[in-house]
Structure 1
Amino acid sequence: MHNESSPVRITRRLGDPPKLRGSVTGETCPDIFELSDGNFAIIGTEATAVLDRQLPQDAARADHERIVVITRETLIRAKRDIPDA
């Protein structure tokens, strides 16, 4: 994942901030961030218990992984910021 000598940092938000997406408080909403190691971090609603049984047969989730849900609008607004490669 990452080198312990250089901690992973959030480098940028993908898409619009929650307030621009209609969040009244602008504090707690789904969000997508690019990390300094090239990976992405997602803030979403934890839904592992509900969706785990519905994963396709060719999908798997490790014990340390969780299924989170973000709104369609969050991902669509982030699309312009997601690199092609």
Structure 2
Amino acid sequence: MARAWEADPSALFVKRLGKSAEELGNSQGREQCPDIWQLSNGDIAVIGRDVTDHYGSRLPEGVTLGADERLVVIPGNMLTAAKPDIPEA
């Protein structure tokens, strides 16, 4: 069965949403840098800690992870800083 949405691996990184991890105090240098980026096709890429193994068995009812999906966590202040860059629905 075809999915309603599929990630396009040919999309390019276009614009950081919000501030860098270093600007927010969430990183010390270039290692371990969570981030949020808009891609050239309008999709959003999130770089965060992979916590799939920790949260996978505790997902809320009705929430599932596909075999090729991972659950990542980013610092809350990173999403808050990105809010001005996210258009209203």
Question: Scaled by the length of structure 1, what TM-score is found?
Answer: 0.86
Instruction: Give the aligned CA root-mean-square deviation in angstroms.
Output: 1.5
| Aligned-residue offset at 1:39 | 0.9
1:17 is aligned to 20
Instruction: Count how many residue pairs are aligned between Structure 1 and Structure 2.
Output: 82
Structure with greater helix percent: 1
| Aligned-residue offset at 1:40 | 0.5
Map of 1:2-81 to 2, 5 A cutoff? 2=8, 7-22=10-25, 23-81=27-85
- Structure 1: stretches of 5+ with no match in the other structure: none
- Extract structure 1 runs of 4+ deviating beyond 6 A: none
- Structure 2: stretches of 5+ with no match in the other structure: 1-5
- Identical residues among aligned pairs (%): 38
Question: Scaled by the length of structure 2, what TM-score is found?
Answer: 0.82
